[in-house]
Amino acid sequence: MGWAAEGRLVGARFGRLQECGPMTEPASLSDRFDTACRQLPLVAILRGIKPTESIAIAEALYGAGFRLVEVPLNSPDPFDSITAIRQTLPADALVGAGTVLEPGHVSKLAACRADLAVMPHADPALIRAAKVAGLLCMPGVATPTEAFAALQAGADALKLFPAELITPPVLKAMRAVLPRGLRLFPVGGITPGTMGPYLQAGASGFGLGSALYRPGASAADVRERALLFTAAWRSWQATRAA
């Protein structure tokens, strides 16, 4: 095909695209995070998951309403699991890693086309590295000092860890001094029955570990547990709206 013929073909295709209306820009990562949190601000922490089971577990979680999935990097072959889950789930799901401890982890996440870097601590240099790589960053903090330092470094949300130490009264006191609208996610020992007091104190969502997923659990079992968390969240939302 000559250049002129190719030009006519491209022009015809472009014309059809124009007839269908203007093309929309892909949603930014920040917008996708906002949308995911509005739908269900619960982060599935899949510690110990294997790549061979990651797709089935991720699909079960997505079907139960989850849109935030984290594979801790002390799991077997975690980057293989992250890649498989990211390739499987639609773009409205955000997929990333937990237990991110060094800059090399960040670069590997970017290569996996991951969305999210979650840390147990608040290393400002690591937070900045995650932001330079184009990732959402949720570092772990336990004090207002750590929280403000993490925000100064560019954190998008904060993981309150461990939640067994950061009780609802402590969360309420921290919420009073932190920026309005900042998302706070208690992590550690959270169950459907313990979410309420944290939500009343100002939690924005939660990171869910062994109460949601344990290594070797079947996709059916994970879906059942996920639905319990989803129901607890929606019950809280209904109560607050009443």
Domain presence at residue 192:
yes
Any idea which residues carry the catalytic annotation?
Answer: 70, 159
**Which pLDDT score is estimated for 187?**
98
Domain presence at residue 33:
no
**Which pLDDT score is estimated for 11?**
41
- Domain holding 231, by residue range, is 40-241
Domain presence at residue 128:
yes
Domain total for the chain? 1
**Which pLDDT score is estimated for 240?**
84
Pairing relation of β-strands 140-141 and 136-138? unpaired
**Which pLDDT score is estimated for 176?**
97
Domain presence at residue 103:
yes
Alpha carbon distance 236, 242 (integer Å): 10
> Tens of pLDDT along the chain (242 residues)?
443 333 333 344 334 334 444 555 679 999 999 999 999 999 999 999 999 999 999 999 999 999 999 999 999 999 999 999 999 999 999 999 999 999 999 999 999 999 999 999 999 999 999 999 999 999 999 999 999 999 999 999 999 999 999 999 999 999 999 999 999 999 999 999 999 999 999 999 999 999 999 999 999 999 999 999 999 999 999 988 87
Domain presence at residue 17:
no
Domain presence at residue 12:
no
Domain presence at residue 11:
no
Per-residue H/E/C for the chain:
CCHHHHHHHHHHHHHHHHHCCCCCCCCCHHHHHHHHHHHCCEEEECCCCCHHHHHHHHHHHHHCCCCEEEEECCCCCHHHHHHHHHHHCCCCCEEEEECCCCHHHHHHHHHCCCCEEECCCCCHHHHHHHHHCCCEEECEECCHHHHHHHHHHCCCCEEECCCCCCCHHHHHHHHHHCCCCCCEEEECCCCCCCHHHHHHHCCCCEEECCCCCCCCCCHHHHHHHHHHHHHHHHHHHHHHHC
Q: Are 213 and 46 in contact (CB under 8 A)?
A: yes
User: For all residues of the chain together, what is the average pLDDT?
Assistant: 91
CATH code of the domain in which 237 resides: 3.20.20.70
User: pLDDT digit string (tens) for 10-29?
Assistant: 344 334 334 444 555 679 99
Domain presence at residue 118:
yes
**Which pLDDT score is estimated for 26?**
76
**Which pLDDT score is estimated for 105?**
98
